Chains A and B, each alone.
Chain A
Amino acid sequence: GENVEQHPSTLSVQEGDSAVIKCTYSDSASNYFPWYKQELGKGPQLIIDIRSNVGEKKDQRIAVTLNKTAKHFSLHITETQPEDSAVYFCAATSPRTDKLIFGTGTRLQVFP
């Protein structure tokens, strides 16, 4: 079945530095890739998404890139702030399965 791998599992950065989280998917038919941020005690919050007909998308300090050939997609956060500290999940969905398959999550810690 479809699988999404996410790395790293934990990431610590200094405030103001950049953070990059990478995901790999297995189903070449996957066409929608959302990223979620989950803070303690809350549900996942959609922060950015990308579709397979686009290679990159930006929203202020957040960007996502997609390499369909390699089946990789990445989340880039620039100028990190302490409030960016959370668990981040990537996900992928395919018309074949119509299910949102999540990566295992990355715990990001931003130190002041």
Chain B
Amino acid sequence: KAGVTQTPRYLIKTRGQQVTLSCSPISGHRSVSWYQQTPGQGLQFLFEYFSETQRNKGNFPGRFSGRQFSNSRSEMNVSTLELGDSALYLCASSLTGINTEAFFGQGTRLTVV
């Protein structure tokens, strides 16, 4: 059974640009959650999508957005990048939601210069 796949693995962007990250969940999983991991703030919840609808959202500015497609694949977008957005972005898939086992991908390492 294939795991959670995130692409790309690494990205370098310039301040002010925008970026789109992709996550393919485990087959059959309908919930995809996104997290930002930094040394200073740890793992912070961005948002969760279930059946193409955003079901929950963390405390991040509106520059962070996402969507989910009918095949459960999800993308997150960050617009007007800031230096502080440099982080490891992780997605996790689960069958039905956060109260069930969540499996993480390897993450996308975003560096903003």
Residues of A within 8 A of B (CB): 31-32, 34, 36, 41-46, 49, 89, 93, 95, 97-105
**Which of the residues A43, A89, A98 comes within 8 Å of B99, measured between beta carbons?**
A98
Residues of B within 8 A of A (CB): 4, 6, 33, 42-45, 48, 55-56, 58, 90, 92, 97-99, 101-107
Contacts between the two chains (Cβ within 8 Å), count: 52
* Interface pairs (29), CB distance under 8 Å: A31-B99, A42-B106, A42-B107, A43-B4, A43-B6, A43-B106, A43-B107, A44-B90, A45-B104, A46-B101, A46-B102, A46-B104, A89-B43, A98-B55, A98-B56, A98-B97, A98-B98, A99-B45, A99-B56, A99-B98, A100-B33, A100-B45, A100-B92, A100-B98, A101-B45, A102-B42, A102-B43, A104-B42, A105-B42
**Which of the residues B48, B99, B106 comes within 8 Å of A32, measured between beta carbons?**
B99
Measured between beta carbons, the chain B residues less than 8 angstroms from A31 are: 99
